[in-house]
Copies of this chain bind each other. A is one copy, B any other.
Amino acid sequence: MGIMRIGHVDLNVLNIEESRNYYVNIMGLTVTREDADGTLYLKCWDEWDKYSLILRPSEEATFNRIAYKVRNDSDLDELKIKIENYGISTQFLEAGVVADCGRSLSFKLPSGHDFILYAHKEFIGKDTGDTNPAPWPFEGKGIKAHWIDHALMMCQGPESVMEVTKFFIDVFDFTLTEQVCVGPNGSLQAATWLACSTTPHDIAFVAGPEVGMHHFAFFLDGWNDILRAADVMAMHDVKIDVTPQRHGITRGETIYFFDPSGHRLETFAGLGYLAQPDMPVITWTEDELWRGIFYHTGVENGAFTTAYTLHAYR
């Protein structure tokens, strides 16, 4: 019952053909639907639903909304009640309003982000099939990203992080896996990591100057895929913000880089640890904040705090 995973990220991009080439040939996704207005829908080889990424041609590179998939259609009704009891108004969208999806529940997170829940999306299947499958697709392209793993949403200040974190725990039954605590006695959550799966995070929140998306991440198996991915990026002149790193937080292995519109992306590798509701929450103190982000140096690196994607319609 409840939320299973990230369903899709919905973005505006500056040059749709450049974006298509980038996500298909470098990241390894497949275009599974194109609309008359030029909107592209893409999926990764290891995903079975029709798409996990929507790219809309635009004059601004902004974030529209993020969608998560729930297990049963009836969960939407239950969640509607819980969300509204929390004091947030919601709206049911008819089947098809979100492309190839059943009815969906639309609302704003306490942090101000547009959010969608849905239970059904058209099924396509993994590229490797479901009978005697190969462990990876021999014909895959570029980085061969497995799936969209998580997103880090930027909130206006720690209070907003704390509020949306409480919302995900209380209303969506997510588990808080890690937190950065700052301020007097570490009483403010400057960033939080939350899981509905048993991986270290399915969504995360960080305090910043504006409402937006810091990045979303593609999953890779491990550290060697990170090297190969960085090599592929270099071969294609992808702008890399932070080269291969260990995260202290989540233990993940990572690269931060940008798509042609300037959206920050991540390749995130490794299971990290088995997240569980009874796992003690991991806390990073203010003085070790950057050790948490970039474990090896423990210092700020790249444009982590300055380059992100603004929310559209702000």
Give the B-binding residues of A (Cβ under 8 A): 1, 4-5, 46, 48, 69, 71, 123, 125-126, 130-136, 138, 146-147, 197-199, 219, 221-224, 227, 230-235, 240, 243-246, 248, 251, 253, 270-271, 273-274, 276-285, 288, 291-292, 294-298, 301
Q: Which of B222, B281, B296 makes the CB contact (< 8 A) with A244?
A: B296
A306 to nearest B CB, angstroms?
17
Q: Which of B227, B248, B274 makes the CB contact (< 8 A) with A147?
A: B274
Inter-subunit contact A231/B134 (CB<8 Å)? yes
Of all chain B residues, the one with the shortest Cβ separation from A138 is B235
Which residues of the partner chain B approach A130 to less than 8 Å between Cβ atoms?
280-283
Inter-subunit contact B234/A227 (CB<8 Å)? no
A232 to B136, CA, bound (A): 10
Report whether over half of chain A's contact residues are helix, strand or loop; otherwise say mixed: loop
Question: Given contacts A130-B283, A131-B283, are A233 and B296 in contact (CB under 8 A)?
Answer: yes
Q: Which of B123, B125, B224, B295 makes the CB contact (< 8 A) with A234?
A: B295
Which residues of the partner chain B approach A291 to less than 8 Å between Cβ atoms?
132, 234
Inter-subunit contact B296/A230 (CB<8 Å)? yes
Inter-subunit contact B227/A277 (CB<8 Å)? no
Question: Given contacts A71-B278, A278-B71, are A132 and B234 in contact (CB under 8 A)?
Answer: no
Q: Which of B234, B270, B283, B294 makes the CB contact (< 8 A) with A298?
A: B234
Q: 27 interchain pairs (CB within 8 A)? A: A1-B1, A4-B277, A46-B273, A48-B280, A69-B278, A125-B280, A130-B281, A130-B282, A131-B282, A132-B291, A134-B235, A135-B231, A135-B251, A197-B198, A219-B274, A221-B270, A221-B271, A222-B222, A222-B223, A230-B246, A240-B296, A243-B243, A243-B294, A243-B296, A243-B301, A244-B244, A244-B296
Protomer copies: 4
Which residues of the partner chain B approach A199 to less than 8 Å between Cβ atoms?
198, 271, 274
A284 to nearest B CB, angstroms?
6
Which residues of the partner chain B approach A1 to less than 8 Å between Cβ atoms?
1
A5 to B130, CA, bound (A): 25
Q: Max chain B CB contacts within 10 Å: which of A1, A232, A274, A276?
A: A274
Inter-subunit contact A274/B5 (CB<8 Å)? yes
Inter-subunit contact A240/B276 (CB<8 Å)? no
Inter-subunit contact B273/A271 (CB<8 Å)? no
Q: Max chain B CB contacts within 10 Å: which of A132, A138, A291?
A: A132
Question: Given contacts A130-B283, A271-B270, are A222 and B219 in contact (CB under 8 A)?
Answer: no
